[in-house]
Structure 1
C-alpha cells in the first residue's frame, strides 16, 4: 500500500530531511510534530541494525504483516520522536567519528537530551556513554574541578566580548532534567548552581544587563524543583552562619599583638553581606581571600593585617570552602 499525501491539506509541511534522505536507502522513517508537519528520513536498515538489535526489531518487527505501508518505493516506519532529535541520533549512527557534539559546548544537556533518550530506548550504550561523558565535564564532583570549570567560563566570557554567560556556561534546568533519568550524581551540583541564581533569572536574558549573570530555562523546572532549590538555599545560609560563629572570629587574637582583630571584624561583616547578596558561598569565600573589604563604600580598601593573621584567615576560608562543598548533599536531600 502506498501513501499519498497530495490531497492532504491538514499536512502543513511535508519535507525530506536534507542530510539523511539517501536515494539508495531501503527504509523510510516518518516523524510528525505537534503542528502536523511531516519529516521523512530515508536510511539503510543494515547500518542502523548493526548498532542495535532493539532498533532493528522496532523497524522490522517479526509480528508485522508482509504488507506494509510504502513511501517512495520502500517500507515506511513511523517514529514518535522530534525530527531534530532523530536527525542527531541518526547522525551518530552514520558518522560516529563526526558526531554532532562539540567539545566545550555548554548546552549539550539541552541539545542532546532527545538523542540520549533514543539511545536509551534502543539500548545503544556506547552512544549514551559518549553523550553523558560530555555532560559530566561541566558538572565536576570535586571542589578543584568546580573551581577549574568556573575559571574556564570566566575566561570564555572575557574572550568573547559579544557573548553573555549563558553562551559560554551550562544551564542548570536542562541538566536537572537529564540527570533525573540518566545521571543522578549530577543533581547536587546542578541544584547548587540553581540555588545561587535569582528567582527572576531567565536563560538568555542577562539580569540588569550584566553579561556575567546566568539564567535558567524555567519551563523545564517543576514546582518541586524550585522548592528544593529554595530549601537548599536556606540550609546553605544557615550552615554558613553557624560556621562563622563556630570560628569565634569576634574574639580574634593576633599573635604579634597587632590590631588585626579590627580588620578581621570588617572582613567578617563584608563576608556576611556578600553571601547574602550573591547566595553563592563558594565564590564569595574564594573572593574574600584577596584581603580587600568594601567597608560600605564602592571602592575596595586594602586592610592592614599581619602575615600570620592573613595566613590564618586564608586557611580558615579554604577549610570552610572544602567543608561546604563536601556538605552539598545535605543541603539538597531527596533529589
Structure 2
C-alpha cells in the first residue's frame, strides 16, 4: 500500500473529473532525499478513455478485472505505475492531452536526454505515434545532406558572430542553446534506430573539443564558446569510429590538381616524378595552393582542418587581397576560373559522402 504522506498532485494533469489516479515515483532531487525511507509520488488524475484510446497496453490493463486497482484515492481507483519516472510520465500525458503544446526548441542539446525516457514509455505502453514523433524531433535537428549541413552551420556561425558580451552574456547562451550535442545524438541514434543522423553527429563531434567531463557543457573564457564533448559516454566501437574518422579528416589533402583544367593539370599527368617543379610555368597550381593555405589557417577544429568549412571558404577566392593581381599577376587561367566553383562544390560533396566510410556509419 502506498502511503499518502508522500503524495504530490501534478499541477496540470490532475483533472477533477478524472476516473483514475496514477501514482508515479518521483526521482530524488538529492542524495539526502534519496536516503529517505518514504518515497514520494507524483499523482496524475486522468481519464481511462483517453489512455485506452491511445494505448493498447492501457486498454488491456483496464479491461482486466484481476488487474483493477484495489486502492482508492480522492474517490477514484489508485494505481502505482511501477518502474516509470514522474517527469517522463508527465510528458507522455501532456502529449495525450495537449499535443499542440508538446513542442521542443530546435537544436536544443538537452532534447535527446529529455525525450529518451518518454520514448521508452511510449514503447512500454505501445503508443507508436509518440515514439515516431519524438524520434523525428531529434532527427530533424541533424542534417542528412550537405545542403542541410550548410544551413545548420550558417545558423551556428550567425550566433557566433554576435558580440562577445551582451546583457548577461545573452549571446553566449544563444550559441550554447543552438548547438545540438553530438554525443547525445550518437547514443540516441544507437538506442532508437536512426542511423541517418550519425554522419553529421560524428563530424560535429570531430570538431568538438574533447574532455573527460561526463555532462555536456561549453568552455568559458573564450569566444565563440567551444562545446565540450563527453567522450567517456561512447562505447568502444563508436570511440574507434570517432578516432578513425578524425585520422582520415586530418590526413585529407587539398585536391589541387583535381580543381585545375585539363591543360593545366597535364604536367602532373605526364611527369614521371611525383610532382613537377613548382615554378612560374604553373601559376594556377601556385594560386590554388595559396588559396588553400589561406582558408585552412582560419579553421578552429582541434583535430583536423574541417575540410567542409575551408573548401566552402574557397568560393570567395576573388575577394581575398592575398590573391590579388599584385601577388598573382596571372591569376587563374580562364578555364580554371570558370570551372573552379563547380569543382569546389564537387570536392565538398565528395568529402560529405566520404564521411560515412571514414566514420564507418550508414
| Superposition TM-score tier, normalisation by shorter sequence | 0.7 to 0.9
* In structure 2, C-alpha distance between the alignment counterparts of 1:126 and 1:251, rounded to whole Å: 62
Which position in structure 2 is the counterpart of 1:70?
72
Mapped contact 2:51–2:59 kept (Cα < 8 A): yes
2:250 and 2:257 mapped to 1: Cα distance?
A: 12
Any conservation in 2 of the 1:29–1:42 contact (CA below 8 Å)?
yes
Which residue in the other structure is 1:177 paired with?
Answer: 187
> Which residue of 18, 21, 28 corresponds with 1:28?
21
Residue 253 of structure 2: SS of its match in structure 1? Answer: helix
**Structure 1: tracts of 5 or more residues without a match:** 7-12, 295-299
Q: What residue in structure 1 maps to residue 272 of structure 2?
A: none
> Is it true that 1:234 corresponds to 2:258 in the alignment?
no
Between the aligned partners of 2:188 and 2:322, the Cα distance in structure 1 is: 45
Report what 1:97 is aligned to. Answer: 100
Gaps of 5+ in 2: 29-33, 163-169, 260-264, 269-274
How far did 1:80 drift?
Answer: 1.8
Equivalences for 1:93-132 in 2 at 5 Å? 93-102=96-105, 105=108, 107-132=110-135
How much does 1:227 deviate? 2.8
Aligned residue among 209, 212, 223 for 1:198: 209
Larger radius of gyration: 2
1:148 correspondence with 2:147: no
Compute the RMSD of aligned alpha carbons. 3.6
TM-score normalised by length of structure 2: 0.74
TM-fit CA distance, 1:175: 1.3
Q: In 2, Cα distance between the equivalents of 1:244 and 1:225?
A: 32
- SS of residue paired to 1:16: strand
Provide the residue aligned with 1:40 in structure 2: 43
Compared CA separation, residues 242 and 209, structure 1 to 2 (3 A): closer
Residue 10 of structure 1 corresponds to: none
Partner of 2:322: 301
- 1:83-106, Cα deviation, whole Å (9 max, x unpaired): 211111110001122224345656
1:163-213 alpha-carbon deviations (Å, 9 max, x no partner): 352211211122112211221222222112112212139633236522352
The aligned residue for residue 62 of structure 2 is 60
